[in-house]
Structure 1
Amino acid sequence: MSNTEQDKQRTEQVEEDDEPDDWDKRIFSTGCSDENAKLNDCFFEKKDWRACKDE
């Protein structure tokens, strides 16, 4: 397989991942998406869930 074919397959895989999955749909439908985003951002910065209790 050439590099061009591999690049095309990777692009197709990324495009398929753009669809929200069941988990995303539940988070958005319950209205918890803002809180979830804040918690994920905090964890990304601090790498410790305990430090993110206020989020």
Structure 2
Amino acid sequence: MSNEEKRQEAASQVDDDDEPDDWDKRIFSTGCSVENAKMTDCYYDKKDWRACKNEMEAFRECWKRHGNEQRTSSKDT
């Protein structure tokens, strides 16, 4: 494979990576993708869910505001 072919293949892989996958589509459909990103970023940074209570609560409130609990049949425990 020539260098030009390798560059074209790499460029096409980057383009494919820009497309939302099934997970992204599901999160975007909830209306809470921003809150989800903040929550997962917090966990990534701190490695402790207990340190991310504010982010988790913001996500939970967003989830309720958008009616996702009926859609997914989740229950508060």
Length-normalised TM-score, structure 2: 0.56
Larger gyration radius, structure 1 or structure 2: 2
Aligned pair 1:10/2:10, yes or no? yes
Q: Aligned pair count?
A: 55
* Moved beyond 6 Å, runs of 4+: none
Aligned pair 1:33/2:37, yes or no? no
Q: What percent identity do the matched residue pairs reach?
A: 69
Q: Structure 2: which 5+ runs fail to align?
A: 56-77
| Cα separation, 1, equivalents of 2:4 and 2:44 | 34
| Cα separation, 2, equivalents of 1:24 and 1:42 | 18
**Which structure would you say has the larger RCO, counting Cα contacts within 8 Å and 6 or more residues apart?**
2
Q: Structure 1: which 5+ runs fail to align?
A: none
Q: CA RMSD in A?
A: 1.8
Length-normalised TM-score, structure 1: 0.72
